[in-house]
A = this chain, B = another copy of it.
Amino acid sequence: MTQDSQTGERTAAEQGASPHRLIASNRVEGTAVYNRGGEKLGRIEYFMVDKTTGQADYAVMSFGGLFGLGGKHYPLPWDMLDYDPDQGGYRIDLDKAKLEQGPSFAPGEEPDFDRRYDQRVYDYYGVVYTW
């Protein structure tokens, strides 16, 4: 998880002390995602979970389009996301230009998420692929 200079230690301390370490899967869905400048990038539509281990690997964020129409889905390595209790959303260190060129798919046209695809997404964002 990355550090954030805006909220700093307080956020980290809150998270450590909070009884609300957990969040319901259906509340993650629909949660807003902001970049480090506080700009809203999109929202999490759903996330991809390893069936066996229960580990979330991707957050799938909708981005682009107008008024929710014509947007695409962007798989983001889960580790790129920081939960920010102050904003009630996730933050990510990513600018729009980088995101726009990133792996994406049309809603309803989900890729296979096989290992080759995983590798491509993780490489694109420079996140270490550990499995």
Take A55-B56, A56-B55, A56-B56 as given contacts and tell me if A22 and B50 are in contact as well, using a CB distance cutoff of 8 Å. yes
- Please provide the chain A residues from 26 to 46 with a CB less than 8 Å away from any CB of chain B in the complex: 26, 28-29, 46
- The SS class assigned to the A binding surface is mixed
A98 contacts partner chain B, Cβ-Cβ < 8 Å: no
A49 to B15, CA, bound (A): 14
Within 8 A of B (CB), among A1-49: 1, 15, 19-26, 28-29, 46-49
Q: Which of B20, B48, B52 contacts A83 (CB 8 A)?
A: B52
A residues in contact (CB < 8 Å) with B: 1, 15, 19-26, 28-29, 46-52, 54-58, 60, 78-79, 82-83, 110, 112-115
